[in-house]
Amino acid sequence: MQDVLAAGIAELMDTGRDFHRRGWSLGTSSNYSVVAGRDPLRLLITASGFDKGRLTPSQFVVVDDSGAVVAPGPSKPSAETMLHVVLAEGAGAGAVLHTHSVWATLLSESGVAEGRLRIGGYEMLKGLAGVHTHETVVEIPVFPNTQDIPALARRLESELRAWGARPPGFLMAGHGLYAWGRDIAEARRHIEVFEFLFEVVARRPSVTV
Ligand SMILES: [Zn+2]
């Protein structure tokens, strides 16, 4: 598992530098994880409270399926660890990335009343796994923000059982985006695609007739 952990740490450090530079992971916000083992579940995840643009190998921890730290020790895992665990188990995610961008924050507020954000007609939608045409509408779930992560994790767990055609991501209102993929590369692609779409929708001039 040591090789898997070292590779995961290197890739997530690179992800952090990239996302910080692009303004998606500022002010120690965000958290990232990758599955390091399935039986039993072992999740490598960023520790709480560090600058994601300057992550070091000691700023990661390994947790089990209850979110408890199994290695390497003293650091505290992200407060949102159980959301990553639920996505690894319930969505089969191999990697989960969480960002706090301006556009995701703004748009999530406009979608919270309906509980979803609908985006359709854009070529970039094809960057999401399972989407093969721009002639489609994806519905991104929007959950109210909360500090009660265990409650949100339970809700997410039940929503994932009927996720159906919904895309590999969701928003928390006034907070940010969660996206996942089979590995870190796919999860990064999904974050990029969502962020592109959010910015397009948020900046789109309103058409008046
Ligand atoms: Zn967050």
For 23-70, write each residue's pLDDT tens digit. Answer: 999 998 899 999 999 999 999 999 988 999 999 999 999 999 999 999
- What is the 179 CA–ligand 1 centroid distance (Å)? 12
- What is the 29 CA–ligand 1 centroid distance (Å)? 6
Across the range 161-171, mean pLDDT stands at 93
What is this structure's pTM? 0.94
What is residue 16's predicted lDDT score, i.e. its pLDDT? 97
What is residue 77's predicted lDDT score, i.e. its pLDDT? 81
Percent pLDDT > 90 in the chain is 85
- What is the 209 CA–ligand 1 centroid distance (Å)? 39
Percent pLDDT > 70 in the chain is 97
Which contiguous run of DSSP H or E holds residue 7? Answer: helix 2-21
d(C-alpha 35, C-alpha 16), whole Å: 17
- In this prediction, residue 73 has a pLDDT band, given cuts at 50, 70 and 90, of low
Token pair in block for residue 49: 């409270």
- What is the 52 CA–ligand 1 centroid distance (Å)? 12
User: Cβ atoms within 10 A of the Cβ of 10, count?
Assistant: 12
Please answer whether residues 81 and 67 qualify as being in contact, where contact means their C-beta atoms are separated by less than 8 angstroms: yes
